[in-house]
Structure 1
Amino acid sequence: MTAPHPRYRRALAIPVGTALATALAFLPNVSASAAPQAAPQAASAADATSLSYVVNVRPGHGVPRHVTKAIAEAGGTIVTSYDRIGVIVVHSANPDFAKTVRAVRGVDSAGNTRNAPLPAQSTGDLGAPKVLSAAEVAAAEAADGKDPLEPLQWDLPAIKADKAHEKTLGSSKVTVAVIDTGVDDTHPDIAPNFDRAASVNCVTGKPDTADGAWRPSAAESPHGTHVAGEIAAAKNGVGMTGVAPGVKVAGIKVSTTAGYFYTEAVVCGFVWAAEHGVDVTNNSYYTDPWYFNCKNDPDQKALVDAVTRASRYAEKKGAVNVAAAGNESYDLAADEITDPVSPNDGTPSDRVVDPSECLDIPTQLPGVVTVASTGAKGLKSSFSNYGLGVIDIAAPGGDSTSYQTPAPPATSGLILGTLPGGKWGYMAGTSMATPHVAGVAALIKSTHPHASPALVKGLLYAEADRTACTDPYDIDGDGKVDAVCEGPRNYNGFYGWGTADALDAVTR
């Protein structure tokens, strides 16, 4: 099930045969050019040819005067600066801006964060979700202390979250920030646990704290709302249950209306999380427009530098950063990978890259927990990226029901989550695996409130259920090996240190 790269980490939303098992229309097999076209966003005359840039300087010393002067002389306007990590966000219509500024004393790196002029033009409507109907939701009944839709969540017992909830639901003093497309905090499963103070809109690279700025509009993806519910949907007799239904969840919106996660927004998101007491960040996306950012390219190197500084700052301030491995069935430990869609906001071409030098960010950055996806049978999902030494841990992200069928009463091999407007629906992808790990990390932090990020990660890996390589891996049963897993049972390329374990998180 290889496919063109989605801008954020979602895999095939596979329709299944029952009314309850509805799927969202977020298909990695649907390229932007094949999708229905949405109306482009309006751009001002001043922005018609402008691009956004990051300029990286020495951290902790502000923007040097001579750098400020050089930026202006090169035709740049400073939007904001993150002095503690030395990242400056700039807009400029000068096509030679980055090259000019890179020559300035004190500038470590500089590069354009996008190819589309400000603001990014929409590349197409990703499609409206198909959701559980009101009648279907009403027909579900709570039983044995479970929320009504919990029997459909095969993923909770897969990581022993149901057993963990008998011990604790997690601490309300712990916050997980969903750095994503926005979170609908009015959803009845999210509202009880929403952390308003830790939520923000970072789309422009500069924090917007207006009330509700973190919410997705009706035209935007429900991806972030789905992720938020997987993590912390309240155990309140309504809808579904999150992995850590007693912790707080925040929304940090970093995606444009067109669905792009640009560097300046991602940097803003990590810095905001760092400075607002966030314990765990969930990152179910890759930073646009490059799937892999090659450090031998000066523009792409600047993007790696900026996001690395921001993610490390978040960890230094106490956050565990968790990220999705991706949905293209790539071996991220291979010598070469062909990237066919970068830059995804310009003119893509087939690039052959070395994934040890060309990084998927934030997924492959130092200190980040990299998550692979499993299906209802506990096997690597057909779409999940993998790679020995790259994958840290695995968790349920769903798969085609024809490949991995869940046990009844669950009916879909996908992952149930919350949707804007008080709805629920199914998705699949490493995007869905990542919030399971973020939720388990939040339970660990709840159990060990003074644990450092390093200790939380150490416990996450030590407590994971060791999962041996699937060999041979023929997920579709056609007699051909679909991927090769390397490494022993306790640490391998499909499952890393193993499958996340929520029960151990609250008992050990």
Structure 2
Amino acid sequence: MTVPQPRLRRVLVLPLGTAMATALAFLPNVTASAAEPAAAPASASVATDATALSYVVNVRPGHGVPKHVRKAIADAGGTIVTSYDEIGVIVVHSSNAAFAPTLRGVPGVESAGNTRNAPLPAQSTTDEGAPVALDATQIADATAEATDGQDPLEPLQWDLPAIKADKAHEKSLGSPDVTVAVIDTGVDDTHPDIAPNFDRAASVNCVTGKPDTTDGAWRPTAAESPHGTHVAGEIAGARNGVGITGVAPGVKVAGIKVATTAGYFYTEAVVCGFMWAAGHHVDVTNNSYYTDPWYFNCKNDPDQRALVDAITKATRYAEHKGVVNVAAAGNESYDLAADTITDPVSPNDGTPSDRVIDPRTCYDIPTQLPGVVTVAATGAKGLKSSFSNYGLGVIDIAAPGGDSTAYQKPEPPATSGLILGPLPGGRWGYMAGTSMATPHVAGVAALIKSTHPHASAALVKALLYAEADATPCTDPYDINGDGKVDAVCEGTKNRNGFYGWGTADALDAVTK
């Protein structure tokens, strides 16, 4: 089987001075698979393929793994990696090609499905693209522009005043009692912009689906993506006279690593990430990815249904524990409220094919799950970024994610329409995408939690939406100036498909 190169989720890396062309996040679409085969008896002989895959088995929560289910897993050639008894999700490895359909026939099993198409571990170790790093001259020029009280690179951060974060910082930097967990590719906690605010106790490696608390296991290796480090700095880059400033520079940030070396975010790792956050005093999670290998997971496909079930259980449990889950809307300019969407790249770890899906029954997870805050991206002029997904009733809120179109250039002294953030190894660079919009909202949610420390997750979300600046539809939306409408916004000034309830407002977060 030929395994396509993985695509980093929800981030665009855009060379300065060029048209936006490269999307490092492609959203795979899911066509419904053939009808589920009849389940084999649990005692049937095990027919295996050449490689082991990972599975999730969903059962009733709160009762552990029932003995008869444990036996059925073993009889079907499965090995339990871990189980999350609070939500009834079991992570299993098996080389039995019939494992999932076999388990679906076991009493008490709600759903079961394989989480990937590639063998364990993923075969590719190639990450695509690279951020546009600042050079010494750019750093010196920005430092010369910095005013008293600003970090040296803050003059390049047009995104902070776009959500009034600069004004918010005059009132509050946020509370160190609040932690935002970055569920992502890993966080370099040694970076000078991140180290002062890093929460080691809330950090972990969840790549296998089972928490690895080895010191530093949450860090990316040199061969892995800088994505999580960039996101972490956007949220909580310290106000310390070094580099950039985060949206909430006084709160804590944790790293929950869920991406494989090849850059895949598989279900068992994502479930682990949410469950870890729920149990370690995390207040907000940032999710700038989609769960591989399907862009959209259709519930009429038994494997995909199991993935939706497992992550839904995990996000709901985390919110029940007080966690606000914030997720990126995606970078394909899809109308997520349309009747159909064509997805040409799913599964992205197998053999993709064009699928026509109904986004009302096929979900980008965790983005489209109940209770999750879905974030669209805007550029330096406050308009929907050219790449950002949208959709009335799907998008909850908008925030700066950058854009390289000629129209959305920032005012000086900022020089790039992309988002500046830290990179591993003590560097800084530009990135763009709904990946970059999401941490702005996570940062504002952290400021709200700082202002209202006893607020429930539901109340923090309600305040996030109520305090957002109403942003009317852009009509007509011709973002590249070629005379053609690039997207159609539906809705009212107070809630629409481009900006949801509006643009995030950090100043209101610390004053209301």
Q: What TM-score does the superposition give when structure 2 sets the normalisation length?
A: 0.92
Aligned to 1:442: 446
Aligned to 1:42: none
Distance 2:85 2:291 in 1: 21
Change (3 A) 1:496 1:474: same
1:28 pairs, out of 17, 23, 27, with 23
Distance 2:270 2:421 in 1: 23
Question: Are 1:223 and 2:224 an aligned pair?
Answer: no
Change (3 A) 1:128 1:399: closer
One-letter identity of the residue aligned with 2:283? D
| Structure 2 unmatched ranges of 5 or more | 28-47
How far apart are residue 47 of structure 1 and its match?
10
Alignment map for 1:330-409 (pairs within 5 Å): 330-409=334-413
Question: Are 1:321 and 2:325 an aligned pair?
Answer: yes
Distance 2:446 2:216 in 1: 24
One-letter identity of the residue aligned with 2:116? R
Distance 2:231 2:434 in 1: 11
Question: Are 1:168 and 2:172 an aligned pair?
Answer: yes
Question: Are 1:107 and 2:102 an aligned pair?
Answer: no
Distance 1:325 1:225 in 2: 20
Aligned to 2:455: 451
Aligned to 2:63: 61
Distance 1:254 1:29 in 2: 17
**Equivalent pair of 2:327/2:366 in contact (CA under 8 Å):** yes
Distance 1:359 1:407 in 2: 38
**Equivalent pair of 1:7/1:288 in contact (CA under 8 Å):** no
Change (3 A) 1:26 1:312: farther
**Equivalent pair of 1:51/1:93 in contact (CA under 8 Å):** yes
Question: Are 1:209 and 2:213 an aligned pair?
Answer: yes
Distance 1:472 1:12 in 2: 27
Alignment deviations for residues 14-55 of structure 1 (CA, whole Å, 9 cap, x no partner): 3238xxxxx9x99317989xxxxxxxxxxxxx9960000000
Alignment deviations for residues 170-199 of structure 1 (CA, whole Å, 9 cap, x no partner): 000000000000000000000000000000
Distance 1:127 1:354 in 2: 31
Change (3 A) 1:47 1:10: farther
One-letter identity of the residue aligned with 1:404? Q
Q: What TM-score does the superposition give when structure 1 sets the normalisation length?
A: 0.93
Is the partner of 1:49 in helix, strand or coil? strand
Is the partner of 1:426 in helix, strand or coil? strand
| Greater displacement, 184-193 / 395-404 | 395-404
Aligned to 1:11: 12
Aligned to 1:501: 505
How far apart are residue 143 of structure 1 and its match?
2.0
**Equivalent pair of 2:479/2:486 in contact (CA under 8 Å):** yes
Distance 1:5 1:325 in 2: 19
Alignment deviations for residues 143-187 of structure 1 (CA, whole Å, 9 cap, x no partner): 221000000000000000000000000000000000000000000
Question: Are 1:98 and 2:93 an aligned pair?
Answer: no
1:83 pairs, out of 67, 82, 85, with 85
Aligned to 2:200: 196
One-letter identity of the residue aligned with 1:9? R
How far apart are residue 137 of structure 1 and its match?
2.5
Change (3 A) 1:266 1:156: same
Distance 2:222 2:183 in 1: 19
Is the partner of 1:93 in helix, strand or coil? strand
**Equivalent pair of 1:152/1:409 in contact (CA under 8 Å):** yes
Query: Percent identity, aligned pairs only?
Result: 82
Distance 2:120 2:65 in 1: 24
Change (3 A) 1:5 1:117: closer
Distance 1:165 1:89 in 2: 43
Distance 1:123 1:149 in 2: 32
How far apart are residue 6 of structure 1 and its match?
3.9
Distance 1:275 1:66 in 2: 28
Is the partner of 2:96 in helix, strand or coil? coil
RMSD of aligned C-alpha atoms?
A: 1.9
How far apart are residue 129 of structure 1 and its match?
3.7
| Structure 1 unmatched ranges of 5 or more | 18-22, 33-45
Is the partner of 1:67 in helix, strand or coil? helix
Alignment map for 1:114-133 (pairs within 5 Å): 114-122=116-124, 124-133=126-135
Alignment deviations for residues 390-442 of structure 1 (CA, whole Å, 9 cap, x no partner): 00000000001513010100000000011000000000000000000000000
One-letter identity of the residue aligned with 1:357? T
Distance 1:57 1:366 in 2: 20
Alignment deviations for residues 311-343 of structure 1 (CA, whole Å, 9 cap, x no partner): 111101110000000000000000000010000
**Equivalent pair of 1:5/1:327 in contact (CA under 8 Å):** no
**Equivalent pair of 2:418/2:430 in contact (CA under 8 Å):** yes
Is the partner of 2:133 in helix, strand or coil? coil
Q: Provide the aligned length of Structure 1 versus Structure 2.
A: 486
How far apart are residue 472 of structure 1 and its match?
0.4
Distance 2:448 2:121 in 1: 40
Change (3 A) 1:393 1:168: same
